[in-house]
Amino acid sequence: MSDRQDQATGESVVPNDTRSRTRTCRRAACAGMALLMGISAMASAQQASLRDASAQAQQEQAALQDKIDAADDETRELLTRLRDASREASRLERYNDELARRNQTQQALIEKRREAIDQLSVTREALPGQLRDMVSQLRTLIEADLPFLREERLARVESLDSMLDDSEMSAGDKLDRVLSAWRTELDYGREMDAWQGPLVGDDDRQVDYLRVGRIGLYYATPDGRSGGVWRADAQEWQALEGDALDELRKGLRIARDQRAPALLDLPVSVAVETQSADDANSPAADEESS
């Protein structure tokens, strides 16, 4: 062994160079441990710094995500408002188009009414004269027509003449009365009628009359044995016999709703003028037809 033992004390004696190396090793070990502890502390500090940086980054990322989400929500809301505004604009545009068409129609109606108002004064001034002309024409029609209910119809015309002189009656009421009388006369041309009355030209005889519009006026005695047709061209009665008299009695029953409607083979009171083929093709006929 290299170590020496102290003879006096019995202890081992370590050489100086050995003790020196031991102290050096101890100092190196302490320095190493200190270095390791420093490195460990630095690592711990770096880890703490990294954790703090990571936490801060996560917070910043979370805040950024919140901003992104908020921006997305705002964008969606703005898009929804934009779509709603677009639909509302389309609805308003269609409504405006409809109003424009209505305005055009109303404007045209206003123009027509304005023209009517402008002509109203002229019409009001001309109306009395026109009413008298209509009554006069009605009288002429009755006097030239078949002599059925002539007294009644002429009495209606006399009433219209008196009405026109009534200053308290409005022009509108007078016009209604005159038009009503004209409608009554026009209805005679579309009706089939039967009634009893004195024979035209012989007031002492009561007969049964049959009228077919304005083309036929007939009479039959109450016993049905004799009758006649009014001839407008001769202004007199023409006797009916045989089958014609049977047709007259049939027509009276039809007019009184005593049998079903049927065709009547009777002579007419008003002569019907017919054109020949040559006349129909002549220029004069073309002008009349036009």
Residue matched to tokens 């123009």: 111
Which residues, 6 or more positions from 290, have their beta carbon under 8 angstroms from its beta carbon?
none
The pTM (predicted TM-score) of the whole model is 0.53
Gap between the Cα atoms of 174 and 130, Å rounded: 11
Span 84-94, pLDDT tens digits: 888 888 888 88
Specify the higher pLDDT residue, 32 or 196.
Answer: 196
Question: How many CB atoms lie under 10 A from the CB of residue 210?
Answer: 29
Span 233-283, pLDDT tens digits: 999 999 999 999 999 999 999 999 999 988 999 999 987 664 443 444 443
Cβ(159)–Cβ(174) under 8 Å? Answer: no
- 99-103, 129-133, 183-187: the lowest-pLDDT one: 99-103
Span 45-69, pLDDT tens digits: 777 777 777 788 888 888 888 888 7
Q: Mean pLDDT score of the chain, rounded to an integer?
A: 81
Residue 153 carries which side chain, given as an amino acid letter? R
Residue 188 carries which side chain, given as an amino acid letter? Y
Q: What pLDDT, on a 0 to 100 scale, did the predictor assign at position 284?
A: 34
Mean pLDDT calculated for residue range 2-23: 54
Gap between the Cα atoms of 36 and 39, Å rounded: 5
Question: How many CB atoms lie under 10 A from the CB of residue 196?
Answer: 10
Q: What pLDDT, on a 0 to 100 scale, did the predictor assign at position 36?
A: 67
Q: pLDDT confidence of 20, banded at 50, 70, 90?
A: low
Question: pLDDT exceeding 90 applies to what percent of the chain?
Answer: 41
Tell me, letter by letter, the H, E, C secondary structure of 186-246: HHHCCCEEEEEEEECCEEEEEEEEEEECCCEEEEECCCCCCEEEEECCCCEEEEECCHHHH
Tokens, residue 216: 């036929």
Q: What pLDDT, on a 0 to 100 scale, did the predictor assign at position 32?
A: 65
- Pick the closest to residue 227 from 207, 201, 213, 212 (CA basis): 207
> Is 117's pLDDT higher than 70?
no
CA distances from 99 to 70, 87, 102, 113, 219 (A): 43, 18, 5, 20, 66
Gap between the Cα atoms of 79 and 74, Å rounded: 9
